[in-house]
Amino acid sequence: MKRVGIVALNTFREAVRDRVLYNLVFFALLMMLAAVVVGQISIGIEESVIVSLGLSAISVIGLLISVFIGVALVSKEMEKRTLYALLAKPVRRWEFLLGKFGGLVLTLAVNTAAMAAGLFLVMLYVKHSLQREDAVVLVAVYFIWLKLALIVALALMFSCFTTPLLAILFTAGLYIVGLYVQELRNLPVDVMSPATAAFTKWLSYLLPNFENFNVMAMAAHGRAVPGTLILQNTLYVVIYCAIVLTGAAAVFSRKNLK
Amino acid sequence: MSGFAIEIENLTKEYPFGFLHLKKKTSLEGLNMQVEMGEVFGFIGPNGAGKSTTIKLLMRLIFPTAGSARILGRPISDVEMHKDIGYLPEQPYFYDYLTAAEVLDYFARFHDLRAGDRKERVERMLKKVGLETARKIQLRKYSKGMLQRVGLAQAILHDPKLVILDEPMSGLDPVGRREVRDIILELKREGKTVMFSTHILSDAEALCDRVGVIVGGKLRGVGAPGQLVDMKTQGMEILFALTGASDEPLLAKAMKTGEYYRLQVAEGELYVAIEQLRGTGARILSVTQVKATLEEFFMNLVEADRAQAAAVEVSGK
């Protein structure tokens, strides 16, 4: 695992030096603008507007980073051939892959935490104080980070066996589909043929379910998130990521580099 | 452990191509070769001959269609064996957001070196490849030759038993090439095994204990450079200067370079030729033996391969 850590820390360093964290400036400007404007136009619901806007911004910025940089993690190394010298060291390919994944997830953790801190500052500015129920915003931010980790795993897997452009399309497509998995599960299977019903059910459990990670409405209204959901989402991401990364490692371990 | 640093058995690599990947191009065909411990082995061949393919197969960057290989007595699938080998990729490229010192430190971490030892080795390597003054500059500002030096430094950083260099002289100026030659010779003095690919034959002749010649994906010869080529005298070369005009027919066969003439004749015709030249008033400057060079051996193989490829194309097989 030491080798995984070395690759992960270098991936984090790469993100920092390639100015990935500059998005925080954009987020800060957006939140400052929101704090000023919201106070003037939304009397009484400032907090929920600020929380909704802040969490949406954290989610969208994180999505962009996880899809685009997630796909580039390995494909850029193959394209630029920076991987050649590294794989000549005592490093297994799966260790490299896991390190790249860990590095970007670490970057997203720092990025998301910084944005969350900014959001709390704006909430404090608008409300003049923070209450115990505001902790639900932290849970919402944690869920966003979990979701982003899963997206990075998917982007990494697709980038192992297709072109970067297709990998971006597949990852984004799967994310959008994953937002509606619950609808797929709720389809009236009794009007379908047994084969179609079985396929629909199988597909609904195979596809990543991103719907469970959206607790923005609860956070905006200060409603507590059940502890079981936190545990369930955490386990879901750990297991799903493990499966996806195992698949990615299996493909990447037999891949002929250029 | 066997006495070989590298043992290659029937190594073959085919690349599928075409719309459905149904056609196959053979990049390397049944390669059998050994590199002995402690020797400097040159792997020579024209561009596209299969040199880099062989090295990439050894480094498991690509996987063989058939055959196997062992390095330092262990199968190439054994990643731990990489602790004892150093590799310089062809036209190396490294993380350009790092400085030379940082990239070397990064690679050194995979070899379980302690922080103090890492720092000392990185400094020593930077000095060895002439980059100590550029150590704090990000690699994105480096020239091709400087990147080649970084590549060489990372290949020998951990004191490996075997060093595999893919076109190490590529992109280097004459000073850089000389420095790389010196490093290879130093590695040999330290008892390391060095295998390097090149198409610069003079480098191979000057450095290698043995060379392997590969053309068209097939190994065409292995041995000491002198053994590979016919060492018998192929003729005599007379270097002379003319003091006046002459219509001697022999002069038409001579080649003028600057103010001097060079004439190649068979060994048995040397004295007759010298007499004839003296008759024209020529001043004989030197007489030297003409021997086949590795380049001629190499070119003969390349020409034969091209002729064979053309014949196959015509016959449609």
Write out the residue range of the structural domain in which residue B21 sits: 4-223
Return the residue of A nearest to B88 by Cα. A85
Helix (H/G/I), strand (E/B), else coil: B166? strand
Contacts of B22 (CB under 8 A, 6+ apart): B16
User: Is the CB of A81 less than 8 angstroms away from the CB of B92?
Assistant: yes
- At residue B51, the 3 state secondary structure works out as helix
A211/B202: higher pLDDT: A211
Residue B297 lies in a domain: no
Residue B174 within any structural domain of the chain? yes
Cβ-Cβ contacts under 8 Å, B93 against chain A? 80-82
pLDDT at B198: 87
Q: What is the pLDDT of residue B135?
A: 85
Residues from chain A contacting residue B81 (CB–CB below 8 Å): 90
| Structural domain contains residue B313 | no
Q: Are residues B170 and B118 in the same domain?
A: yes
Between CA A121 and CA A36 the distance in angstroms is 13
Pick A81's closest partner by Cβ from B60, B89, B155: B89
Over residues A22-46, mean pLDDT: 75
| Chain B residues whose beta carbon lies within 8 Å of the beta carbon of residue A10 | 95, 106
Between CA A187 and CA A171 the distance in angstroms is 24
Of the candidates A99, A98, A111, which has an alpha carbon nearest to the alpha carbon of residue A144?
A111
Report whether A84 contacts A58 (CB < 8 A).
Answer: no
CATH number, residue B279: 3.30.70
Mean of per-residue pLDDT scores for chain B: 87
The dihedrals phi and psi of B24, each to the nearest 5 degrees, come to: -130, 135
Structure confidence by residue, pLDDT tens digits, B189-212: 999 999 999 877 778 888 899 999
B148 and B270 assigned to the same domain: no
Whether the per-residue pLDDT at B231 is higher than 60: the answer is no
The whole-number pLDDT of residue A110 equals 94
**A90: nearest CB among B56, B80, B95:** B80
DSSP state letter for A192: S
B27 touches chain A (CB under 8 A): no
Distances (CA, A) of B260 to B86, B240, B285: 48, 6, 9
Has residue B228 been placed in a domain? no
Q: Does A256 contact B63 at a Cβ distance shorter than 8 Å? A: yes
- Pick from A84, A255, A258 the residue to mutate for testing the B interface (most B CBs within 10 Å): A84
The two three-digit tokens of residue B304, written as one number:
């034969």
Q: Which residue has the higher pLDDT, A184 or B300?
A: A184
Together in a domain, B278 and B137: no
Query: Which residues of chain B make contact with A6, given a CB cutoff of 8 A?
Result: 106, 109-110
Residue among A92, A75, A107 nearest A1 (CA)? A92
Nearest CB to A91: which of B56, B110, B155?
A: B110
Inform me whether the C-beta atom of residue B261 falls under 8 Å from chain A C-beta atoms. no
Around Cβ A206, how many Cβ atoms within 10 Å?
8
ipTM above 0.90, yes or no: no
Distance from B80 to chain A by nearest Cα, in Å? 5
- Contact between B235 and B269 under an 8 Å Cβ cutoff? The reply is no
Q: Which of A211-225, B58-72, B135-149 has the lowest mean pLDDT?
A: A211-225
Q: What is the 3-state secondary structure (H, E, C) of B265-315?
A: ECHHHHHHHHHHHHHCCCEEEEEEEEECCHHHHHHHHHHHHHHHHHHHHHH
Does a structural domain hold residue B150?
A: yes
Size of interface A-B (CB pairs under 8 A): 68
Q: What per-residue confidence (pLDDT) applies to A222?
A: 75
Q: Is B152 part of any domain?
A: yes
**Could you give the CA distance from residue A156 to residue B22 in angstroms, rounded to a whole number?**
28
Calculate mean pLDDT across residues A8-15. 93
From B63, B93, B106, residue closest to A10, measured CB to CB: B106
| Residue A23 CA neighbour count, 13 Å, CB half | 23
Q: What is the pLDDT of residue B233?
A: 66
Which of A100, A81, A68, A83 lies closest to A165 in space, CA to CA? A68
- Please state, rounded to an integer, the average pLDDT across all residues of chain A: 89
B38 three-class SS:
coil
State the average pLDDT over residues B142-166.
91
With an 8 Å Cβ cutoff, are B56 and A257 in contact? yes
The number of residues in chain A equals 258
B76 → chain A, closest CA residue:
A88
Residues in A closer than 8 angstroms to B74, CB to CB, are none
Whole-number Å distance between alpha carbons of B296 and A246: 52
Mean pLDDT of B78-97: 91
The domains of chain A are located at 2-179+214-253
Taking CA atoms, what residue in A is nearest to B13?
Answer: A256
At A94-119, the pLDDT tens digits run: 999 999 999 999 999 999 999 999 88
Residues B172 and B272 in one domain: no
Domain boundary among B181, B205, B223: B223
CATH at B23:
3.40.50.300
Closest-CA residue of chain A to B86 = A88
pLDDT in tens, B257-301: 888 999 999 888 999 999 988 888 889 999 988 776 667 777 777
- For residue B1, what pLDDT band results from cuts at 50, 70 and 90? very low
Are B270 and B203 within one domain? Answer: no
* B chain contacts of residue A81, beta-carbon cutoff 8 Å: 89, 91-93
Q: What number is the average pLDDT over the span B76-94?
A: 91
For residue B310, is it within any domain? no
- CB-CB: which of A14, A89, A256 is closest to B107? A89
Inter-chain residue contact B89 with A82, CB threshold 8 Å: no
Residue A37 scores a pLDDT above 90: no
Q: How many domains does chain B have?
A: 2
Answer yes or no: is pLDDT of A238 > 60: yes
> B55: which chain A residues are within 8 Å (Cβ-Cβ)?
none
Residue of A nearest to B147 (CA): A82
| B188 and B41 part of one domain | yes
